[in-house]
Structure 1
């Protein structure tokens, strides 16, 4: 090959290369890790777009390593350690077990928690205003949400008397959530029948216990275990003809009747803001933890038809999303 041909070939290779790699010796784009149970429509696509809007385009100005537990909590520590070995600049942890695994893996790399109910009780942060340490992000816990969910069940089911409540006593914030739920139920003259599930193997006996309680409705409290098994829970409620209210819209997306809780997309958009600040040099301990900025009501009309349960028109008007 002539010198001219070699020069033309080299020029073609340079022009074909990604923009970020054209400058010889340029530092690589920063990398972040994403640690979750699984990707959902409200998480990864929203986070990716929000980061791009802030100037962090995946594959161009930002590298992202994804790690998923896929319903196997024992994988979280291994995945977190892997992200640390990869040298990521920030870890986005989408569930409480992911946050805990990331904390155990590193005290140096900033961690942005998402969908974490009570980070103070869990020991993730010193306080919401001054987190300290290397963890910050968004808490999804809102005490008033418990009362709202109970009121929704009472509105949905005329003559309701007993409500089964699925909760995880191993969750540090669950006891507080249950107390708020009990107070709201008493105010409405409802009887609660709490049923516990701590780990995957507890779900089968827990669902059998709910069936045995002969409740008129089901309330599922917020927990990573229940989110991971949301399809199983919503299918159970439909088969038992149990009107149910869930803590996040992701439950309604897979067949749940009704959900009231923090907006998943909004939460991940806010997570992108935290990542942006941390990549630009902010210290996680100096960034206050945010509470939910927006709650959303999601109604699944297909589930309502399967239950032969009419949805009040006022509730439909109030809904942020109505799934057909």
Structure 2
């Protein structure tokens, strides 16, 4: 062997382990874009992180996870989405209204929405079966969720007719929910009274304007505005003596009367499975959007007592959780 060839071979052998170690040290980065406040996402992110770890993606070891929260501010969500793109994350995980800003920030980085209302109508995906583009995830859509919520409410307030429907009218999914409730409510004996809000400052006056106009309330699909103010909304509904039905368990835990909807932590666990597949080479366009398969019906008996309501035992027996 010539001397020059020997030196080249020796240098390659010495450099190879270093190169391998450098390559092994590079771990993918997942960016979380939360459109609401971090405390609202805490149990959801934990569900994602726990399932992600079960799949081999351990934060700080085999993956790096960075978090950004917009606290319900649309402009801030756009800024944070651009920030995650600048960080060159390998994947963005978001939900609902965080999806739009993420899509505007990148058409290349894969995006997984852990939950979204009406993802086709909002333009997030072309269809549930064939998402197209760089976006996929889990839809909150399920057959007649609004009708089921009103059915539970009707069992509790059999004589109520005037139904306030609290809606963030600027949020498309909430508006679509309102349209659906207008259609199904009359068959259940409810007369819908739309209550439109657009910002946090509208919430308290909206309740003030309901005096004598409503006997119960339905809160439309949760969006950043409603999510960020759920404690306040629950307290105002209780103060107004309005039996209220919500879409998510956290609202019943915050003092709401009842809730019925998809198990959100379960959807974040399933989002981790999407992220796992994408980081292993799958394309979002090839991963169909899934619908919820686990639902929760929650009753807050403490709130019922405050409102002077008696919950039928047959209804309590069907609940997935009862708050006493």
Which bracket does the TM-score occupy, shorter chain normalised? 0.7 to 0.9
TM-score, normalization by structure 2 = 0.88
Tell me what 1:8 maps to. Answer: none
SS in structure 2 at match of 1:74: helix
Distance (whole Å) between structure 2 residues aligned to residue 38 and residue 95 of structure 1: 13
Tell me what 2:84 maps to. Answer: 83
SS in structure 1 at match of 2:74: coil
Let me know the Cα RMSD of the aligned residues. 1.7
1:179-220 Cα deviation digits (max 9, x unpaired)? 3322322112221111111233332332223x2353111100
Tell me what 1:28 maps to. Answer: 26
Tell me what 1:133 maps to. Answer: 133
Alignment of 1:52 with 2:53, yes or no, is: yes
Deviation at 1:265, TM superposition (A): 1.3
Runs of 4+ that moved beyond 6 A: none
Distance (whole Å) between structure 2 residues aligned to residue 307 and residue 195 of structure 1: 21
Alignment of 1:38 with 2:37, yes or no, is: yes
Deviates more, 1:298-307 or 1:269-278: 298-307
Deviation at 1:153, TM superposition (A): 1.3
Deviation at 1:174, TM superposition (A): 3.4
SS in structure 1 at match of 2:119: coil
- Compared CA separation, residues 266 and 25, structure 1 to 2 (3 A): closer
Tell me what 2:218 maps to. Answer: 219
Q: Structure 1 unaligned runs (5+)? A: 1-21
- Compared CA separation, residues 276 and 213, structure 1 to 2 (3 A): farther
- Verify the 8 A CA contact 1:42 1:268 in the aligned structure 2: no
SS in structure 1 at match of 2:194: strand
1:23-82 Cα deviation digits (max 9, x unpaired)? 455332111001111333430111110101111111111110000112333210111111
Q: Structure 2 unaligned runs (5+)? A: 1-19
Deviation at 1:230, TM superposition (A): 0.8
Counterparts in 2 of 1:234-313, with a 5 A limit?
234-313=234-313
SS in structure 2 at match of 1:238: helix
Counterparts in 2 of 1:90-105, with a 5 A limit?
90-96=91-97, 98-105=98-105
Deviation at 1:299, TM superposition (A): 1.4
Deviation at 1:138, TM superposition (A): 0.6
Deviates more, 1:165-174 or 1:78-87: 165-174
- Compared CA separation, residues 175 and 72, structure 1 to 2 (3 A): closer
Deviation at 1:106, TM superposition (A): 0.7
- Compared CA separation, residues 171 and 71, structure 1 to 2 (3 A): closer
Deviation at 1:248, TM superposition (A): 1.0
Distance (whole Å) between structure 1 residues aligned to residue 267 and residue 212 of structure 2: 35
1:205-264 Cα deviation digits (max 9, x unpaired)? 32223x235311110010312122111110101111111000111211212111101111
